Amino acid sequence: MKTTRWAILGPGDIGGWFARALPNSAHGILHAVGSTNPGRAAAFATEHGAPITGTYEELLARDDIDAVYISTVNTTHADLAVAALLAGKAVLCEKPVAPTPAEVERVLAQAAASGLPFVEAYKHRFGPFARALDAAVADNAVGTGLRLTASFGFAAGQRTGRLFDPDLAGGAILDVGGYPVSLAVGLAAAAGLDPADLTLTAVEGRVGETGVDEQATATVSAHGFTAEVACSIVTELPRSATLSGSAGIIELPDVFGSRSASAASFSVRTSGGDSVVEPATVDPFAAEADAVSLALRDGRTEAPEVPWAHSRTIARLLGQWRAGLDAAPRG
């Protein structure tokens, strides 16, 4: 199969993880680096072995780039994704696609019009671990009436930078709340539910002095499926999950994995006994890249790991979560 020539738009920390992962992918190479800062792009390209640098516009105008990875700040994702799709490039976009559901719809509409792959990069959804977990849920390993608890939180320290800047769509919900929400959406779908039926209620949390949500909890539910989700950028929270049902419980102590490796195992406890499932681990960024390459090869616009219906639902639920905290006290 043809090698996918990648450009990274946004040579920051996350872009560095993607660059280091590409050699572990089956189908991709790093070909170019784009930035609004030429010096930063050049330094990044030298470090990671990319032969080409330029502005975003210059790279998108080239015919030797097949796909772009967007790792800029949240507020720039949608415009860059639309521009890349209009230029004939496949897109892997860091989560979240955009701060609002309307912007996500604009991106997906352009992907559909262009007939090109667009994939949202929720890394825990890529690789054997996610497939094994979805299969366990689909096979009713722990029965029905599923109830998920999932969280992701860390203490950022000083309240500065993009995380605490409302003009850059900062806050816990958009930065890390998408992890438990995307997990809930994926598992609900694996259980046979339509993600569009999911609703988000019972919002609690705090908006800090800079005007962003610093921590939040909520309930996602539909047709007997319930998920209690939590996130924070000021407090350490477990990056884990538990899924219980009428016949047992699935424990997911490291469900989101790390930037270098997908989660290694989960346990299933039922009245019939306990078992541990140990799928092969993968480099999640490499797995994301290969999902886009396979979509390009097959002429698909979506990747099964994060189909557009999931991205739409995640954006809607995150929007409802943020809106639920609008009246929260500051500080």
Q: Apex CA 96: angle with CA 91 and CA 101, to 5°?
A: 100
* The CATH number fitting domain 126-284+314-324, selected from 3.30.360.10, 3.90.440.10, 1.10.645.10, 3.40.50.300: 3.30.360.10
User: Distance (Å, rounded) from C-alpha 221 to C-alpha 237?
Assistant: 22
- Percentages helix, strand, coil for the chain, rounded to the nearest 5? 40, 25, 35
Evaluate if residue 238 carries a pLDDT over 90: yes
**DSSP-derived pairing of the beta strands 213-222 and 199-207:** antiparallel
pLDDT at 330: 44
Query: Catalytic residue numbers?
Result: 95
Which residue ranges make up each domain of the chain?
Answer: 4-124+286-299, 126-284+314-324
DSSP, collapsed to helix, strand or coil, labels residue 63 as: coil
Kindly write down the DSSP assignment for every residue of 261-327, as one continuous string. S----EEEEETTEEEEE-PPP--HHHHHHHHHHHHHHHT-S--TTS-HHHHHHHHHHHHHHHHHTTT
Number of residues in the chain:
331
Burial of 296 (0-12, 13-18, 19+ CB in 10 A): buried
CB 243 within 8 A of CB 209: no
pLDDT, tens digit, for every residue of 133-156?
A: 999 999 999 999 999 999 999 999
Residue type at 318 in one-letter notation: L
pLDDT, tens digit, for every residue of 102-128?
A: 999 999 999 999 999 999 999 999 999
CB 92 within 8 A of CB 292: yes
Nearest to 311 by CA among 77, 128, 89: 77
DSSP 100: S
Evaluate if residue 184 carries a pLDDT over 50: yes
Residue type at 317 in one-letter notation: L
DSSP 108: H
Query: How far is C-alpha 49 from the chain's CA centre?
Result: 26
Q: What φ, ψ does residue 139 adopt, rounded to 5°? A: -85, 10
- Calculate mean pLDDT across residues 96-100: 98
CB atoms within 10 A of CB 272: 9
Chain mean pLDDT for the chain = 97
Evaluate if residue 311 carries a pLDDT over 70: yes
Which CATH fold would you assign to the domain 4-124+286-299? Answer: Rossmann fold (3.40.50)
Nearest to 150 by CA among 107, 179, 130: 179
- Calculate mean pLDDT across residues 16-38: 98
Reported confidence tier of residue 75, pLDDT bands at 50, 70, 90 = very high
pLDDT, tens digit, for every residue of 26-35?
A: 999 999 999 9
Percent share of the chain, pLDDT over 70: 98
